[in-house]
Amino acid sequence: MMRKIDKERRILTLMVRIYCRKKHRSQDLCDECQALLSYALNRLDHCHYGENKGFCSQCPSHCYNKENQVKIREVMGFSGPRMIFYHPVMVIRHLLS
Ligand SMILES: [Zn+2]
């Protein structure tokens, strides 16, 4: 069984990739999205909740700074529904909970 935090890392990475590909027409990640992803993964590494954490979007302690919080919300709002086509089982539970 994959660790929860690894799963979340994969979901985050995938979401930013989908967002960038569709919105910025970028083959790989553009600089802005790369920076956002690095930031998000870094926050995840330092998450107080560790293995007991819930999904970031439902986390009570908002550890993102304002700017990145706005960005990641947009990414999740955009990629979330599209993730269903990529990784049905993994994601639906998170998004609909
Ligand atoms: Zn981008």
Given pLDDT bands bounded at 50, 70 and 90, which one contains residue 81?
confident
Q: Is the pLDDT of residue 22 over 80?
A: yes
Of 16, 30, 14, the closest CA to residue 68 belongs to 16
Please state the φ and ψ torsions of residue 92, each to the nearest 5 degrees: -50, -40
Q: Around ion ligand 1, which residues have CB less than 5 A away?
A: 20, 24, 30, 33
Give the integer Cα–Cα distance in Å for 19 and 43: 19
Rounded to the nearest whole angstrom, what is the distance from the C-alpha of residue 76 to the centroid of ligand 1? 13
Rounded to the nearest whole angstrom, what is the distance from the C-alpha of residue 35 to the centroid of ligand 1? 9
Of all residues in the chain, what percent carry a pLDDT higher than 90?
39
pLDDT per residue as tens digits for the range 47-67: 766 666 666 656 666 678 889
Going from the C-alpha of 43 to that of each of 8, 26, 69, 87, 90, the distances in angstroms are: 12, 24, 11, 23, 21
